[in-house]
Amino acid sequence: MIRIDNVTKHYRGANRPALNGVSLEIEKGDFVFLVGASGSGKSSLMRLILREDVPNSGGVFVLGENLRRIPGRRVPYFRRKLGMVFQDFRLLPSKTVAQNVAFSLEVIGKSRAFIDTAVPDVLEMVGLAHKAGNLPSELSGGEQQRVALARAIVNKPAILLADEPTGNLDPATSEEIMRLIERINAAGTTVIMATHDRGIVDRLKKRVVVLSEGNIVSDERGSGYLSVPKGAMPTEMTPVPSSGFQEEVIISSRSFLEEGSLETEGDN
Ligand code: ADP
Ligand code: MG
C-alpha cells in the first residue's frame, strides 16, 4: 500500500538530510506510530507520502502509484484518497463544524445529496452531532480535533496521516482521540501517526517506527517503547503516568464505519 524505497530528502541550505536513505513498507490496514525527536524527519516523511514534496532520490509508492510519475494536475485527485490531521487542528474559524466538514467535500465536487448524508453521519460517528452548528472557537481542543478527524475521513480515505494529533491535548482527551483513530483503523483505513506521546505508544501496542536524524533506527511490531534502542529515544519522551481513561463511548454511530466502503480496491 505504501512503499518508501531508499528515500533521501535534503532541504536546500540544510546541513544534513532530513531523511537519509529511508526504506519502509506499510501494508493495507496497518497502524504505524512514527516516533523520534523533534527534527528527526517524521513530518518530512508524511509530506512525501502526501506528495506535498518529492525526494531528492529514491522512490515513494502509494496506493499503486509512483508519486514521482504523478503529474501536478493529478496530485489533487491522488490526495483525495488520503486524510490528514495536524496538531493544531487547522479548522476554518468562520465556518461551523458542519460547514468545515462539508467544505472538504464541496471543493472536490461532491453532490449536495451526498454531502447532506455524509456530514451528519460522520459527525455522529465522532460524537459531535450536537455541535454541528457551532463554530470551532466554541469547542474544546478535543472537540476541534474530532472535527478535524471527521473532515479527514468523511471521504473515506484509504490512508489517514496524523501528525502529532494529540500534541495539544490533555491525556484524557488524547485517549478519546486515540479511540477514534483506532476505530477508523479497525474499519480498514491504514493509519500513520507521528507522536511524542510515549504513554499512547506503549498502551496501543502497534507497530513503532523510530526515526533518528533522518534514519530509521528501529521498526518493531506490538512492542511499545521498550524496544527503542538507547540513545534513539527523544529526550522529551519521558514515561507518563496512565491517564486513567474511562471506558467512555464517544462514538455513537456504528453505521458510518460499517458501510464497508473504507475498503479500497486495486491498490498493492
Ligand atoms: P519532525 O517532524 O520529526 O520534527 P521534520 O521532518 O519536520 O522533523 O524535520 C526534519 C529536518 O528537516 C529538521 O532538521 C528540519 O529542520 C528540516 N526541515 C524540515 N522542513 C524543512 C524545510 N521546509 N526547509 C528546510 N529544512 C527543513
Ligand atoms: Mg513534525
pTM: 0.86
CA dist 67 and 48 (Å) reads: 9
Closest protein CA for atom 16 of ligand 1? 39
Q: What is the mean pLDDT of residues 101-111?
A: 96
Q: What is the mean pLDDT of the chain?
A: 88
| Residue 244 covered by a domain | yes
Instruction: Indicate which CATH number applies to the domain containing 41.
Output: 3.40.50.300
Q: Cβ(195) to ligand 1 under 6 A?
A: no
Q: What is each CA distance from 202 to 82, 199, 224, 255, in whole angstroms?
A: 26, 5, 4, 30
Q: What is each CA distance from 117 to 111, 123, 127, 151, in whole angstroms?
A: 10, 10, 16, 14
Distance 207 CA to ligand 1 centre (A): 23
Q: What is the mean pLDDT of residues 247-252?
A: 33
Query: How many domains, the chain?
Result: 1
Q: Which atom from ligand 1 is nearest to the alpha carbon of 45?
A: 6
Q: What is each CA distance from 257 to 84, 187, 251, in whole angstroms?
A: 18, 6, 10
Residue 4 in 3-state DSSP? strand
Residue 255 has pLDDT above 90, yes or no: no
Q: What is the 3-class SS of 79-147, one letter each residue?
A: HCCEEEEECCCCCCCCCCHHHHHHHHHHCCCCCHHHHHHHHHHHHHHCCCHHHCCCCHHHCCHHHHHHH
Check: CB of residue 93 under 8 Å from CB of residue 134: no
pLDDT at 240: 42
Residue 215 in 3-state DSSP? strand
Q: Which atom from ligand 1 is nearest to the alpha carbon of 9?
A: 12
Look at residues 186, 184, 169, 33 and name the one whose alpha carbon lies nearest to residue 89: 169
Residue 230 has what DSSP assignment?
T
| Residue 5 covered by a domain | no
Give the neighbor-by-neighbor strand order of the sheet with 19-26: 19-26, 2-9, 57-62, 65-66
Grade residue 223 by pLDDT with cuts at 50, 70 and 90. Answer: low
Check: CB of residue 181 under 8 Å from CB of residue 105: no
Distance 134 CA to ligand 2 centre (A): 30
| Residue 138 covered by a domain | yes
| Residue 105 covered by a domain | yes
Domain that holds residue 227: 28-50+76-258
| Residue 21 covered by a domain | no
Tell which wins on pLDDT, 260 or 66.
66
- Please, which residues have CB less than 5 A from ligand 2, an ion? 42-43
| Residue 55 covered by a domain | no
Q: What is the mean pLDDT of residues 217-236?
A: 66
CA-based torsion, 90, 96, 97, 99: positive or negative:
negative
Which pLDDT tens digit goes with each residue over 35-58? 999 999 999 999 999 999 999 999
| Residue 217 covered by a domain | yes
Closest protein CA for atom 5 of ligand 1? 41
Residue 250 in 3-state DSSP? coil
Residue 131 has pLDDT above 80, yes or no: yes
Which pLDDT tens digit goes with each residue over 144-202? 999 999 999 999 999 999 999 999 999 999 999 999 999 999 999 999 999 989 899 99
| Residue 56 covered by a domain | no
